[in-house]
Amino acid sequence: MSGRVILHSDMNCFYASVEMMLHPELRGRALAVCGSTETRHGIVLAKSEDAKRAGVKTGMANWEARQLCPDLVTVPPHFEEYLKCSGLARSLYRRYTDFVEPYGMDECFLDVTNSTEIFGSGMDIAKRIRQEIKSELGLTVSIGVSYNKVFAKLGSDMKKPDAITQITEEGFRKVVWPLPASDLFFVGRATSKRLRRYGINTIGELASASPEFLHQLFGKNGLVLWTYANGLDTSPVMDSDFEMPIKSIGHGITCVNDLNDEEKVWRVFLELSQDIGHKLRMNSLRAGGVQIFVKDSALSVEQFQGKLLRATVDPREIARKARELFDKNYSWEKPVRALTVRAIELLGSREAEQLDLFSDLSKTERSERLFDCVEEIRGRYGKRAVYSASLMLGERNLPAYRDHELILPGMFVK
């Protein structure tokens, strides 16, 4: 028996709910928070329960959502308001525990094990939080109560909106094991499809599978899934001051116009990599590899990645690797609509790495000193004070703003 009491609180239809809280006249209407059609970000970012019942889904094109729901009201996102509400919710959670770990803007894990003597059981605390979020913020939450993070999150997903679900250590097999394997944390579409190929359709069947077989299928992630399915997750909820280690840093954009040649793609890679290099430097990190995502005009997405010869913060090296991956792998059957570049396999700025005999260290050091100078100039005079001359040539095909910044933490800390 673990004795832990873990909550996962998920604010329902968060963006849409905040909009309705700020604008009461929108309540009771089918509402969707949507990106801008003019800048080709015209997709549904969030929807209300009424819109959901009409078939509107997150990620759906604006025009498609309106076809399904002719009465749909669409509003642009107001991220500063969402951040404000997110911060207020976390302050409310900290009334009950210092162990509050954000998982996105609208979700948090809470370890209330040491709070039960003061506030009652995990269910009692969940009920108090649910009521206080509703009365003080005008929002609703779904809360999962369990003895580990995986099942707490699964519980919050089981009943929505405005609900509490408890999964106990004694009874989880009856509740969890009949569910589809795809409901389990980290079982995505591709993993679920591969599991079905071997007759594994439910979480219970995943729990009963051989760990050796799952390791053979998915590597160490297979063992993690087996652990989760069997209710053996022991990952801690980190306290409020903990900073999750960053696993990747990236930027992505949807281009104003489709790209139809390599030089246009190169300019986008170079532009995105400037921001990545800056973020790496600010976080005292270096990129050991590069990953790219390419979305074509038919909205199909391909992903490619590769290692760098030497870990770096130099945006030109990151952009060159992105271009190499693109040129090697993209078939140009369709024009390119969107691109994302990510720095992966991150190392600390002082962390040692194994070098090969053929690396030109002096050249690399000169390049990074040059980048340091460029960063200093940009810090004084603005981001556009110094940039690559090639970005002046031809169309940049970039929107006026870019809202796809990605700084991805590790998920569960052991």
* 169 carries an active-site annotation: no
Alpha carbon of 252 to those of 111, 120, 203, 270: distances in Å? Answer: 34, 46, 34, 12
Burial grade of 65 (CB within 10 A; 0-12, 13-18, 19 or more): buried
Find how far residue 164's CA is from the centre of its chain.
Answer: 24
Of 19, 107, 271, 317, which one is the catalytic site residue?
107
CA distances from 299 to 60, 274, 282, 290, 338 (A): 11, 26, 33, 22, 9
Burial status of residue 39 (CB atoms within 10 A of its CB: 0-12, 13-18, 19 or more)? middle
Cα 126 to Cα 123: distance, rounded to the nearest angstrom: 5
| φ, ψ at 58 (rounded to 5°) | -60, 135
Query: Beta 301-312 vs 285-296: how paired, if at all?
Result: antiparallel
Q: Are 164 and 19 in contact (CB under 8 A)?
A: no
- DSSP codes joined into one string, 235-286: PPPPPTT--PPEEEEEEEEEEEEEE-SHHHHHHHHHHHHHHHHHHHHHTTEE
Instruction: Give the residue numbers marked as catalytic.
Output: 107
